[in-house]
Amino acid sequence: MLFQDNSPHRRSVMRALSLFTAWGGLIFCVLNIMRGLHGLAAIEFLAAMAAVFSYYRMATTQRLLAWSVGFILCFYTIMMIALLVPNTSPTIFVWVFLLPLISYLTLGSHLGLRFTAVYVFFAAVAFYIRVEMEIGILTLSSAFNVVLCGSLIWVFSHLYEVNRERSQQALMKMASQDSLTGLNNRLRLTEIFQREVQVAKRNDIALSLLLIDVDHFKEVNDRYGHILGDRVLQGLADLIRSHSRQTDYGFRVGGEEFCLILSGADLNSASNVAETLRQSIDSESFEQDGESVYVTVSIGVAEYGNDGRDLDSLYRVADKRLYGAKTSGRNRVVKEGFNHAVDIRSVSASI
């Protein structure tokens, strides 16, 4: 999301750029004072001081992209001013070749492309004006060399960043998603739960957790084989998704154990969702190569606040209620007590 990209590599790049800008600004400030360019020297001194502040701020800010955008805007604007100031060295234009590299490394592929396009255009105009004013005629071969070199750097920077982002997204997906069912894996449970707790507190809404376990799943694997067993798990994941709203999150937390976080659902509402899901699974047939099997699930329900104020305690309560569902006959939902099973299949008539 925009203004929330806090990736470590971009943070380190921005801090390095801030430090480089601080030292470079001070050096060029002194050089331009010696050359009589006092206005540009003052701008560079202010930029150096801002870069020092940015260096320390970048280490802790949670709005890294916002700070990066602001820093890059100032850095590039000062560069464009320096390009147009008369009597600066013509070699100052070599800095333009850094625009694509800096843009993509600090802002990513989308913003990097936009910033590069805008400021490379301004730099090209400044280059043309300076050459016409100080040299007179820009030869075709000179222009071609500059354009070709700049274009290659831009293209390579863009391709590198696009492929890096794709690889990063693929790795993040592998790390956070169960490969068999496509649901979130257990590693993401803590992260998402903590985030949804904050949402629930901020909006003063309920939050509940369902723990779902397949009854006698070992017998399914032993009788029909692991291929059909995997098909059952995939089908259950599909049913969990179909009974989830956009604000709900499904997880596979064990071999045949699933979890569902329900935002905005109190204990009774969550139990109704659980019962509807239980009935759907109870009536579903899972097939593979002509073999078909029916399974049932037991579900434990717990509500944030009343049953626990952290994930461990809430999960423990839901797990005990799941155990209560198992010991009292399976294929049912338990929403009260630790060991006493409350069969709420009768609530289906009111759903």
User: What is the structure's pLDDT at 5?
Assistant: 57
List 256, 257, 284, 303, catalytic entry? 256
Write out the two tokens for 183: 């649901």
Beta bridge partners of 252: 185, 258
Neighbours of 247 (CB within 10 A): 13
In terms of Cβ atoms closer than 10 Å to its own Cβ (0-12, 13-18, 19+), residue 164 is: middle
Q: Is 256 noted as a catalytic residue in this protein? A: yes
DSSP label of 347: G
First to last CA, the chain: 37
Closest of 213, 216, 218, 214 to residue 315, by C-alpha? 213
Question: What's the pTM value of the predicted model, to 2 decimals?
Answer: 0.60
Least confident of 66-75, 103-112, 139-148, 267-276: 139-148
User: What is the structure's pLDDT at 315?
Assistant: 94
User: What is the structure's pLDDT at 159?
Assistant: 93
- pLDDT surpassing 80 at residue 349: no
209 alpha carbon, distance to own chain's centre: 23
* Cβ atoms of 286 and 232 closer than 8 Å: yes
Write out the two tokens for 319: 């797990």
